[in-house]
Structure 1
């Protein structure tokens, strides 16, 4: 799931007196701190709902990875078909990365837009679960497509709420907390869905499509929870607008596709590095559970745990590494270090039988470091009025690469096995050195 540039249109300090706020609210009694939108306790409550807004989306995104063995066996799929579930999530976001911010700003507004995108996530997960229940793989693919329409745009809405409610120094902490909650959702999914499947199998009587569909339907409860958070946030934001006389939040993104012709060569190199790196992370996690079972003789529970360590490490490491990169600068050097560490991790997994916790922990740190160092580089290469277009194009290319490589990875695994697949991922990482050398020159 993609990282976003911090927006600049921050919520201004409320200058009104308590009496004016009481008058605006139509209540002569003084408001308590937890009810006053300008006070920290109330904003802390908003932050809780803000953080949980994307929990369901991140929890359900990797449902296929958490249930890889069950999905393949219960539906009688090969790996190439299985990886289509990730490809179908990415396809709509090849286009929507350009228009998500526009829809939030100009069509729906942040409040209605957030609710609509949350509904897409909910409906998509329900369709996905229904497809598994009735053993209709095309319906599962449709569900992932609908889920993808809401997932990435919901992340844009979440960041917009953060910018609208928090100021300056608070904003870095808020973005870090939101990222940590997202990774928590992915981690909980990886470690609990296998247990949920086993419990449902006991109730149903045997494994199979019905058990798989019921398990995925239970996972949809997290999306429903996020929808409730969207509704509560909409209410609280509307109330704050009435009391503080503030405008509804906007993404600040300006998408102008004609700006693409003005992008410098260095920016295109960043785009290529972004794709080449992430295609060696997310498709591997999507296929990792069976890899750890087959090569290292892990139990399913152990395999799910080690497969989730990338997300576990990313939760606390991203804010810390972001602070380090901000203080030291030299983003290209940090990106180079992340690429080297990622290559080392994949080579350990491919060519050694060392405890995979070592390689996966290294992968978690390097993944967090690259996200902190690579994405801010875009802001150094284009003027501010082109940032929306640049980030939209970067996310679009990333999703296109993830869709294509997900299908390629499944086909390689079916025909050649995990060793060749790991060599393929290593080759993707090695190609980044060529582009990084150009970045260093320029």
Structure 2
């Protein structure tokens, strides 16, 4: 068995990096589509065909996490632990495609002119137009798929890179995901064009998600070969999953500190990015067609910096300290957006700093999980963290949408009537800053717990 493992694909640098590439391409596709509507928010609000107000956009954005918080993500983690990487990844890639297709249909003229399902969706929740409701259902289905694929991707990195360049590999996977964000923030408003045809970038995103399924199928061939070489039988793991395993994870203080840092940090980043292009329009007076360019600096910066952070963690360590520093930077950025000058260069500087923060915290947090949770529980542990995180991803967009409408009375109607008025984003940015402060507290608690229990979060990840 030892000789088989030594000769397996995982011992080949070329093979394991190719495996990471194919999985990362699937995640790039998912992350592209996940943010495809973010740089289109102003168009969705001001275009009479859609006329989505702040509450409707927040409702739609929060829908990403509906199925996740209902517990389906935890079920997905259990499926991952019991049925394996290949089955889980393929099934949930298909689920992503189904959700993306519904989102696209919700925005088409066919649906808006009374197509299949329009009358039914128009018969309830009269404050929300039918396209918002159908797009939200599609986004919920898509969100479940990409979240479970994210869990699967983390498990794949552990499988292929544990004891090797694991933090660097996870960082590269994150960087690839940011490539999807960069691409969509820059491309989507340009593809919609002056005519503001939002279905164009959404259609392209759907095609890209289908391509992502194909790249995962290629990875699955490599994964099957690895299992065969090492005689891995998923039905004969060291310990079969039991529901009591969840209790073992949930009684771990360090797990809770990471999970709560995760939900607070990501709630102050991803929902912010859903509104960032609109912030650029209304505070920094950027044109709608290029409003995604400044927010695109965040994923561009993280693509470069996150792998460097991963290498540092592999060879030098200091994960807990880096999470603290990243959390502090997040607070400063949101305070800057709340009270800083309406200067485009100031916005660029803040977005670059946010990119640094977004490299530090996720780059240190995800490789830390295997240090505090046994490997056979990792699928479930990652799923629980993603599940907790998604409560924030569901709630915060709706809170921000509500705050925009509540503290900017009448502005949406004036915008839809063509008036030259702007939203004031001060209160939403303060909400994000407070959230970041709470995350900082849990980063300190995690470092303290590591000192007590000796998880080794400040030690290098790479085995010597």
Stretches of structure 1 lacking an aligned partner (at least 5 in a row): 1-10, 16-35
Residue 428 of structure 2, aligned match among 386, 406, 421: 421
Pairing 1:81–2:56 present: yes
Stretches of structure 2 lacking an aligned partner (at least 5 in a row): 113-130, 408-423, 450-464
What are the Cα deviations for residues 152-196 of structure 1, in whole angstroms up to 9, with x where unaligned? Answer: 112233344445555642544433332221111111011111111
The answer for the alignment partner of 2:191 in structure 1 is 196
The answer for the alignment partner of 1:312 in structure 2 is 300
Pairing 1:225–2:211 present: yes
The answer for the alignment partner of 2:136 in structure 1 is 141
Q: How does 1:6-405 map to 2 (within 5 A)?
A: 12-14=5-7, 45-74=18-47, 75-94=50-69, 95-107=71-83, 109-133=84-108, 134-135=111-112, 136-165=131-160, 168-198=163-193, 206-207=195-196, 211-238=197-224, 244=229, 246-247=231-232, 254=241, 256-259=245-248, 262-264=251-253, 266-353=254-341, 354=343, 355-379=346-370, 381=372, 388-405=379-396
Q: Distance in 2 between matches of 1:44 and 1:432?
A: 33
What are the Cα deviations for residues 256-314 of structure 1, in whole angstroms up to 9, with x where unaligned? Answer: 232256233x5434433322222111111100111111211222344211112111111
- How far apart are 1:128 and its partner, in Å? 0.3
- How far apart are 1:397 and its partner, in Å? 1.3
Moved more, 38-47 or 413-422: 38-47
The answer for the alignment partner of 2:458 in structure 1 is none
The answer for the alignment partner of 2:460 in structure 1 is none
Indicate conservation of the 8 Å contact 1:132/1:213, yes or no: yes
Indicate conservation of the 8 Å contact 1:53/1:227, yes or no: yes
- How far apart are 1:382 and its partner, in Å? 5.5
Indicate conservation of the 8 Å contact 1:325/1:334, yes or no: no
Moved more, 386-395 or 213-222: 386-395
What are the Cα deviations for residues 122-157 of structure 1, in whole angstroms up to 9, with x where unaligned? Answer: 111111000111232221111101101210112233
Change (3 A) 1:425 1:123: same
The answer for the alignment partner of 1:4 in structure 2 is none
Q: Distance in 1 between matches of 2:175 and 2:66?
A: 26
- How far apart are 1:398 and its partner, in Å? 0.9
Moved more, 415-424 or 183-192: 415-424
Indicate conservation of the 8 Å contact 2:298/2:354, yes or no: yes
Query: Normalising by structure 2, what TM-score?
Result: 0.77
Q: Distance in 2 between matches of 1:222 and 1:166?
A: 27
